[in-house]
Structure 1
Amino acid sequence: MKYVRPLSLFHELLKTSAINQGRFLGLDVGDKYVGLAVSDPLNKIASPLSVLLRKKSNIELMATDFQSLISELSLGGFIVGYPFDRQRGAPDAVRVKLFVDDLCKTGKLEGVKFTYWDECFTSKNVELLVKPLDLHPVHAKSIMDKFAAVGILQGYLDYVNKKMKLESAE
């Protein structure tokens, strides 16, 4: 996997032919789970996808799952939620970096580009929306993880699409 700056990732995707243009996968990396969201083919709208169990022992399996998603969904890059509002050494930030490093070490995602995007308040916002629904805790957790990934990915898509619109207006 290779890190690229947020706008660079979007620009690189736009350079590919319209037929090969890919979608983005949003990741909300937690202690036990990784919430996933995917963009539509035009990279305008994020939708919830699934939740993967996260353990040190199953990183190879997760990398294989990501390989499958890349081909099934024509993914062009990953948008990984990162806690920019906290110090770099904070446990949440370290957790995200270690997860990405572990994925890279598998060697299964060579050439896959990713960027970090601020996950500030995504989980809290979803929690406030889900809490009144009075769902079973396991079901609520799954929904929160998926929709936190949606918040991360949608924030990225809104930003890059707004930037692209401003650039084309100039």
Structure 2
Amino acid sequence: MGKIMALDFGKKRTGIAVTDDLQIIASGLTTIETPKLLDFLSKYTNEETVESFVIGKPKQMNNTDSESEVLIIEFIKKIKARFPKIPIVREDERFTSKMAFQTMIDSGLSKKKRRDKALIDEISATIILQSYLYSK
């Protein structure tokens, strides 16, 4: 059994979270500048077994796709070409940034750390992954 990796894809940066090998616990891994993402994923998948990718699906309140979905679809084409044997699952990512920010407040992080958008992206990816694990 391999890890499941979640991506909170963004135009500038992408938050990444992974499970343990038993696919029980979701943990934040890192945040990568999006132009370097495919190279990072190649290196990671060479060192670790990744069973599937969970990619956030941004929706608006009326359940239509958000504007960033166009960018995500293009990225998914690239990831499928680079990793054809690793399946991709989509998971609703509504409110994950707000939930991530609230998690930072609840855990007592300073205002300075709460301004770290990379940390918000990583926590958002963890929330996406945890949501997927709950739904499995």
TM-score range normalised by the length of the shorter chain? 0.7 to 0.9
Cα distance, 1:146 vs structure 2: 0.4
Paired residue for 1:152, among 108, 122, 128? Answer: 128
- Three-state SS of the structure 2 residue aligned to 1:91 is coil
Cα distance, 1:101 vs structure 2: 2.1
- Three-state SS of the structure 2 residue aligned to 1:112 is coil
| Distance in 2 between residues matched to 1:117 and 1:137, nearest whole Å | 25
The number of equivalent residue pairs is 131
Indicate if the aligned counterparts of 1:35 and 1:145 stay in contact, CA closer than 8 A.
yes
| Distance in 2 between residues matched to 1:123 and 1:45, nearest whole Å | 20
Structure label with greater radius of gyration? 1
| Distance in 2 between residues matched to 1:115 and 1:28, nearest whole Å | 12
Indicate if the aligned counterparts of 1:64 and 1:108 stay in contact, CA closer than 8 A.
no
Letter in 1 for 2:73: K
Task: Determine the structure 2 residue equivalent to 1:134.
Answer: 111
C-alpha offsets along residues 80-106 of structure 1, whole Å, 9 cap, x if unaligned? 010244413x312222212212333xx
Q: What TM-score do you get using the length of structure 2 for normalisation?
A: 0.85
Asked whether 1:118 is paired with 2:95, we answer: no
Task: Determine the structure 2 residue equivalent to 1:7.
Answer: none
- Three-state SS of the structure 2 residue aligned to 1:27 is strand
- Three-state SS of the structure 2 residue aligned to 1:77 is strand
Letter in 1 for 2:72: V
Task: Determine the structure 2 residue equivalent to 1:73.
Answer: 48
| Distance in 1 between residues matched to 2:75 and 2:29, nearest whole Å | 19
| Distance in 2 between residues matched to 1:118 and 1:126, nearest whole Å | 15
Paired residue for 1:87, among 60, 64, 69? Answer: 64
- Three-state SS of the structure 2 residue aligned to 1:43 is coil
Q: What TM-score do you get using the length of structure 1 for normalisation?
A: 0.69
Cα distance, 1:137 vs structure 2: 6.5
Task: Determine the structure 2 residue equivalent to 1:45.
Answer: 25
Cα distance, 1:153 vs structure 2: 0.3
5+ residue gaps, structure 2, are none
Task: Determine the structure 2 residue equivalent to 1:14.
Answer: none
Letter in 1 for 2:110: L
- Runs of 4+ aligned structure 1 residues displaced above 6 Å come to none
Paired residue for 1:100, among 65, 73, 76? Answer: 76
| Distance in 1 between residues matched to 2:122 and 2:14, nearest whole Å | 8
